[in-house]
Amino acid sequence: MARPSRQNPTHASVTSLRGFGGRSPRRCRCRLRTRLQLYGEWRRRSSSRPQWRCPAPCFTAPPWRDSEDLRLELVLQEASMDNKTIILTTLNAAWASPGSVIDLFIDSFRRGVGTSSLLRHLVIVAFDLKAYEQCVKIHPYCFALPTKDVDFSQEKRFQTTGYLEMMWKRLDFLRLVLEKGYSFVFSDADIMWFRNPFPLFYSDGDFQIACDHYVGNATDLRNIANGGFNYVKSNDQSIEFYKFWYSSRFRYPGYHDQDVFNFIKHDPYTTDIGLTIKFLSTTYFGGICEPSRDLNKVCTMHANCCIGLQSKIHDLRIMMEDWSSYMSMPPSLKQFRPLSWRVPQNCRSSMISTLMYKTYSLALLNPLCLLCEGTSISNCPPSDGSVSVDTLERDFVWVLHLSAHFEYNKGPTTPSNVIDTVDNRQGQEDPNRKTPGSGG
């Protein structure tokens, strides 16, 4: 019998399976090893390249988009809270340079109590291209507000023409935000946020605003408002009020939005609108004009009553140092040995000027001694009408009380060169000057 031919083994080699769909373990291992080597080489090369990262969520509304309205809507949607509330601040190139005001502003959120999470709801509105370019480097939500034929990039000193135009442009923008259905907290960038302000807002207030001087009652119209910090709910009343406020600039030429607010809050039309106004106590929302003296309660501190960018930056840095010292204290010392602010320092010289301006602009009469006569205010100036800057320096609160007493008057005329006059007088030595506490 012939011997049967030898059969091939049942298993096949790797090469014999090359044309089939199946995969051998050996081939899979080879492919995996090769791919891992290639992936490792890609990672090594890519890691050596510079990487750009932006805080998540990263969104900016570029200035070259066709529709300003669309850009605004997109950035508001991205940054808003669940209840359509956002935090807004404005920025120009002068305040945007590294180490300047905007860096201190954002740093205060990071160091504050319960404020770091609020940064994701902050929209920075840039008045010029340089400010916008700096904004996108440091913050995810930026909006470029076009300003035709007006250069807002330089520092705008208090009460100059450029300053007034920038304030009114800002107010009109806030009206637009309300019309889009968004409530907002507006904050000047020279306000340091040390605690979350939302628990301190009134539930029944349509329009809530900080004060240069607070008389002790949230509904008292004698409070001297400061437009640098306010919380506004979007409703028919607030929208109509912002339209009225903006149009009132023609009734009071030469005044900025804050002064005009202090005039029109007494206007019957404001009452007819049905707007509920609440003034925020300086116990929590303070400033250099009237500090929030208890660091256990302070929510925000404003570099108001201060003229000059470098003076603001200097005193804001001192504020941040004071806050850091407070936060480093043990709880027992915070309660029984509270720190006090070391400001004003560089802002002290300009503080006289701004307080004098507020008094003149709100009180209508000149000289100041005529205002004081017949009131319950103590320590009136001399009867001959002379008002010594040194007298005001001894007691800033006197000027604020005087303003509060007479600010209900409406229709003032523009005070002429008040700030320049006071600044010039500050440089003169008074031979009869008495230091605080020396009597007289």
Asked if residues 131 and 155 have their Cβ atoms less than 8 Å apart, the reply is no
Residue 437 in domain:
no
| pLDDT tens, position by position, 284-304 | 999 999 999 999 999 999 999
| pLDDT tens, position by position, 230-266 | 999 999 999 999 999 999 999 998 888 999 999 999 9
Residue 327 in domain:
no
Asked if residues 167 and 186 have their Cβ atoms less than 8 Å apart, the reply is no
**Is residue 137 predicted with pLDDT exceeding 80?**
yes
> Same structural domain for residues 373 and 278?
no
What's the pLDDT score for residue 120? Answer: 98
Asked if residues 143 and 123 have their Cβ atoms less than 8 Å apart, the reply is yes
Q: What is the CA radius of gyration of the chain?
A: 31
Q: Which residues pair with 238 in a beta bridge?
A: none
Please state, as a whole number, how many other Cβ atoms lie within 10 Å of the Cβ of residue 385. 11
Identify the CA nearest to 126 among candidates 74, 61, 172. 61
> Same structural domain for residues 79 and 154?
yes
- Scored b (16 or more CB within 10 A) or e, 158-185 reads bbeeeebbbbbbbbebbbebbeeebbbb
CA dihedral 368→366→211→317, nearest 10 degrees, is -80
SS3 43: helix
Residue 80 in domain:
yes
Residue 308 in domain:
no
> Same structural domain for residues 262 and 362?
no
> Same structural domain for residues 280 and 356?
no
Per-position DSSP letters for 217-279, written without gaps between them: -TT-TTSEEEEEEEEE--SHHHHHHHHHHHHGGGTSTT--HHHHHHHHTTSHHHHHHT--EEE
What's the pLDDT score for residue 401? Answer: 46
Return d(Cα 333, Cα 297) in angstroms, integer: 15
SS3 135: helix
Percent of the chain surpassing pLDDT 90: 52
Residue 374 in domain:
yes
What's the pLDDT score for residue 160? Answer: 60
**Is residue 366 predicted with pLDDT exceeding 70?**
no
> Same structural domain for residues 248 and 360?
no
CATH of the domain at 135: 3.90.550
SS3 55: coil
What's the pLDDT score for residue 150? Answer: 55
Identify the CA nearest to 202 among candidates 279, 295, 297. 279
Greater confidence (198 vs 372) lies with 198
> Same structural domain for residues 273 and 182?
yes
Average pLDDT over residues 260-277: 96
What's the pLDDT score for residue 429? Answer: 36
**Is residue 183 predicted with pLDDT exceeding 70?**
yes
Distances (CA, A) of 158 to 238, 325, 386: 27, 31, 25
What's the pLDDT score for residue 115? Answer: 98
Instruction: Print the domain residue range for 423.
Output: 348-430
Return d(Cα 261, Cα 249) in angstroms, integer: 10
Per-position DSSP letters for 68-81, written without gaps between them: HHHHHHHHHHHH--
User: Domain ends where: 267, 285, 303?
Assistant: 285
Return d(Cα 292, Cα 298) in angstroms, integer: 6
Greater confidence (348 vs 155) lies with 348
User: Domain ends where: 258, 285, 312?
Assistant: 285
Confidence of residue 156 (pLDDT cuts 50, 70, 90): very low
Per-position DSSP letters for 162-212, written without gaps between them: HHHHHHHHHHHHHHHHHHTT-EEEEE-TTEEE-B--GGGS-TT-SEEEEEE
Structure token digits, residue 395: 């007691």
User: Domain ends where: 263, 285, 307?
Assistant: 285
Cα four-point dihedral sign 333, 335, 337, 340: positive
> Same structural domain for residues 271 and 359?
no
Residue 440 in domain:
no
Average pLDDT over residues 150-171: 65
User: Which residue's entry shows tokens 């506004």?
Assistant: 232
Average pLDDT over residues 351-366: 54
Average pLDDT over residues 268-289: 97
What's the pLDDT score for residue 228? Answer: 95
> Same structural domain for residues 77 and 160?
yes
Confidence of residue 307 (pLDDT cuts 50, 70, 90): confident
Q: Which residues pair with 89 in a beta bridge?
A: 124
> Same structural domain for residues 73 and 181?
yes
Residue 2 in domain:
no
Number of domains in the chain: 2
Greater confidence (425 vs 402) lies with 402
> Same structural domain for residues 368 and 277?
no
> Same structural domain for residues 271 and 352?
no
Return d(Cα 264, Cα 249) in angstroms, integer: 10
Average pLDDT over residues 168-182: 96
| pLDDT tens, position by position, 20-60 | 345 566 666 666 666 666 556 655 554 544 333 334 444 55
User: For the chain, what is the total number of helices (H) and then of strands (E)?
Assistant: 16, 10
Question: Do β-strands 207-213 and 224-232 pair in parallel, antiparallel, or remain unpaired?
Answer: antiparallel
> Same structural domain for residues 353 and 241?
no
- Residue 370 has phi, psi (to 5 degrees) of -65, -30
User: Which residue's entry shows tokens 């940054």?
Assistant: 79
| pLDDT tens, position by position, 412-425 | 433 333 334 333 43
Residue 107 in domain:
yes
Average pLDDT over residues 362-379: 44
DSSP single-letter state for residue 412: P
